[in-house]
């Protein structure tokens, strides 16, 4: 079966409808052909009506065609043209309405597109803001990590310094303990020597006092014995007084030396207390 063009299909449908006494229109022709746009069908129908008018003009060539038939065909042709123009105008109105509707749809689509573009622009701005915030956050995190690393390094350095200070403190403590033990031994030794020296001084003072007592007793005897010898006794008395003064001076000298020795014994005790106080701080 050969494939008919859209024009041939429209003309064939129009002939079929006309043979049935039905006026061909775009709608009923489209129902028969099942293809072609309304504009194409309308153009093909116009050409068909023109061809039909040519065929009607066969009266000039074939005068044997009855007059009533020619009149009917001319009347039918005029009605068909009028109806075709009316249909075409209606089609134009419908098409314009569809165009307007399509334009409205287009405008709505453009408006939605503009809104979408605005949303895209807004989202782009938000995305750039978020990216900027992300970069700032990454910079902040990097800074915090650097500061944390620096703090950890400072903490490790402080820890090492503290451990070193503790070691030095322990060493100083041990040294001070040794010095304190040495000073304690020295103090004990010095105290023993001071005690022995004090005992010796006390023994010397006692002996001097005994000598003084003996000399006083001796001088008293001499004075008693020399009452008869006044001049000799006076001289001896003066000599005894001089010796007595010397003995008193020696006694005072011994007492001063004893006091100085006691003061000397107190100073190591103070030094030992200072060392003990330092040792407690460690």
Residue with tokens 């008919």: 4
Q: In the prediction, which pLDDT does 232 show?
A: 75
Low-confidence ranges of the chain (pLDDT < 50): 1, 60-61
For residue 226, what are the contacts with CB-CB under 8 A and spacing of at least 6?
232, 233, 236
- pLDDT for position 200: 82
Number of CB atoms found within 10 A of residue 46's CB: 14
Q: What is the pLDDT of residue 278?
A: 63
CA distance readout (Å), 65 to 20, 40, 61, 68: 21, 34, 9, 9
Give the three-state DSSP class for 127.
Answer: helix
Give the pLDDT confidence score for residue 46 in this predicted structure.
92
Check residue 28 and give its pLDDT: 93
Helices (H), 20-66: 26-33, 38-56
- pLDDT score at 30: 92
Give how far Cα 259 sits from Cα of 135, 149, 194, 254, 255, Å: 86, 68, 11, 9, 6
What was the pLDDT predicted at 81? 63
Separation between Cα atoms, residue 126 and residue 62, nearest integer Å: 85
pLDDT of 279 = 67
pLDDT of residue 157: 83
CA distance readout (Å), 168 to 2, 57, 155, 242, 280: 116, 136, 19, 66, 15
For the chain, give every domain's residue range. 1-65, 168-281
Query: CA 142 → CA 128, 136, 166, distances in Å?
Result: 21, 10, 35
Alpha-carbon gap, residue 110 to 102, rounded angstroms? 12
Q: Are 173 and 282 in contact (CB under 8 A)?
A: yes
Distance CA(267)–CA(202), nearest Å, equals: 22
Measured between alpha carbons, how far is 59 from 72 in angstroms, rounded to an integer?
Answer: 12
């Amino acid at each position: 079966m050969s494939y008919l063009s859209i024009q041939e299909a429209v003309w064939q449908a129009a002939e079929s409808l006309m043979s049935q006494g039905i006026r061909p229109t775009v709608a009923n022709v489209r129902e028969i052909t099942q293809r072609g746009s309304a504009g194409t069908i309308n153009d093909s129908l116009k050409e068909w009506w023109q061809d039909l008018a040519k065929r009607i003009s066969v009266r000039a060539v074939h005068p044997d065609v009855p007059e009533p038939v020619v009149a009917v065909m001319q009347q039918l042709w005029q009605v068909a043209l009028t109806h075709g123009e009316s249909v075409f105008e209606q089609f134009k109105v419908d098409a314009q309405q569809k165009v307007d509707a399509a334009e409205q749809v287009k405008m709505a689509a453009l408006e939605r597109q503009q809104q979408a573009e605005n949303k895209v622009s807004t989202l782009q701005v938000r995305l750039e803001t978020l990216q900027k915030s992300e970069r700032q956050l990454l910079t902040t995190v990097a800074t915090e990590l650097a500061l944390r690393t620096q703090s950890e390094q400072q903490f490790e350095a402080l820890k090492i310094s503290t451990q070193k200070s503790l070691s030095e403190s322990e060493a100083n403590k041990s040294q001070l303990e040794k010095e304190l033990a040495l000073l304690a031994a020295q103090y004990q030794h010095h105290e023993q020597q001071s005690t022995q020296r004090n005992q010796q001084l006390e023994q010397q003072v006692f002996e001097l006092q005994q000598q003084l007592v003996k000399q006083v007793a001796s001088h008293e005897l001499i004075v008693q014995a020399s009452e008869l010898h006044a001049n000799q006794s006076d001289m001896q008395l003066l000599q005894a007084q001089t010796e007595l003064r010397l003995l008193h001076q020696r006694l005072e000298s011994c007492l001063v030396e004893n006091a100085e020795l006691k003061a000397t014994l107190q100073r190591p005790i103070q030094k030992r207390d200072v060392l003990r106080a330092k040792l407690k701080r460690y």
